[in-house]
Structure 1
């Protein structure tokens, strides 16, 4: 897939499944203790740094965005799917949401204190991850948290999802060591890595990274 075709597939697929996705995806309060703890740690790091707002890239229906706001952050939710943003605005009218891609989010360099990419980078073809991670440098001196499923270069091509709706996106499960390397190559310093093995709650391995972008010299 080219960059434009993969973005179109993601947008169209999530517009199609938006309502059922919002109904079945757990709110952060119902996540496992480690996932909740990592989100809380990220929020504390951003609050302590006393910097600008956080961009929740790939925010979906806004549940995690709202959770970050409850943890005391100023936060903007951004998602490629207009239907997801419509649901997020309806569910959380007091928060800010915008349609946009993590490859070119509607934010200016240096205006953020943090970036969250929560289960939202796996649709990106691996060869485009360096450009996406380079974009995470929009928060100089700020904090990054990214989390998602990982694997041994697995490519998933589901045809239906979330209530049996047709989808055309791909999911790329990249080894966590490569993700760490790509983050470092993008100029980000990885400060923590949490690997959660599959259990009764999930069928796949999950890896969460915390990283910082050093101040510009």
Structure 2
């Protein structure tokens, strides 16, 4: 049985593997054209709405934040792991990176044009996710966009499933279930992508991106 992990435990776990994580994932977008395409669509809809200020929440070592900056967005990163933020600041000194928690963001109401949450909610137990979605809604401006990525659960009969992640216990979500939670917090789904696992993937989970908009 996989036990829930306290937030501090998750933070410490990522602090411990930060350097290895950076080495493993710094070039991950180069090898994933679909992920680049999804991020490109996210950047385009944010710019089309007349904005460009975007927070990459759970930014890790900052490589995706830097990618968003390269797409013309005013992007900054937030992560709970001080070690990850230290790596991000060293690798991308021209960008802003802050230590922070997704359930209590130091960001004023309605000031963001976009929020990216790329596999950053997977360590949240189901009862803690609503508070984070409420924060996403709070910091987004009207018409702002959220792009959230996660692994899919096994089906609608099991809307959430815990699994033994390499760093800390994590959760998978059935896409329709998570989309319904987003709607409950004022974030209407506008698009989704589902990538089937590659034969070489260690875990045979579908990878999901949901794009949503604040009314």
Matching of residue 156 in structure 1 with residue 163 in structure 2: yes
Deviations 1:135-192 (A, max 9, x none): 111212211101121213321235xx4xxxxx5x210111111101100111111000
Gaps of 5+ in 2: 155-159
Query: Following TM superposition, by how much is the alpha carbon of 1:52 offset from its aligned partner in structure 2, in angstroms?
Result: 4.8
Partners of 2:193 and 2:136 lie apart in 1 by 20
Which range moves more in the overlay, 137-146 or 75-84? 137-146
1:145 to 147, 154, 171: 147
Equivalent in the alignment of 1:57:
57
Query: Following TM superposition, by how much is the alpha carbon of 1:31 offset from its aligned partner in structure 2, in angstroms?
Result: 3.7
Gaps of 5+ in 1: 162-166
Aligned residues: 204
Partners of 1:136 and 1:206 lie apart in 2 by 21
Please give the secondary structure, in 2, of the residue aligned with 1:200: coil
Q: What TM-score do the two structures reach when normalised by structure 1?
A: 0.88
Equivalent in the alignment of 2:211:
210
Matching of residue 193 in structure 1 with residue 192 in structure 2: yes
Please give the secondary structure, in 1, of the residue aligned with 2:6: helix
Superposed counterparts of 1:65-144, under 5 Å: 65-137=65-137, 138-139=139-140, 140-144=142-146
Superposed counterparts of 1:11-22, under 5 Å: 11-22=11-22
Equivalent in the alignment of 1:170:
169
Equivalent in the alignment of 1:35:
35
Equivalent in the alignment of 1:25:
25
Query: Following TM superposition, by how much is the alpha carbon of 1:27 offset from its aligned partner in structure 2, in angstroms?
Result: 2.9
Partners of 1:13 and 1:181 lie apart in 2 by 31
Question: Which aligned runs of 4 or more in structure 1 are off by greater than 4 angstroms?
Answer: none
Q: What TM-score do the two structures reach when normalised by structure 2?
A: 0.89
Deviations 1:9-53 (A, max 9, x none): 111000000000000015354242221111000001111112251
Please give the secondary structure, in 2, of the residue aligned with 1:72: coil
Partners of 1:19 and 1:33 lie apart in 2 by 25
RMSD over aligned CA atoms reads: 1.7
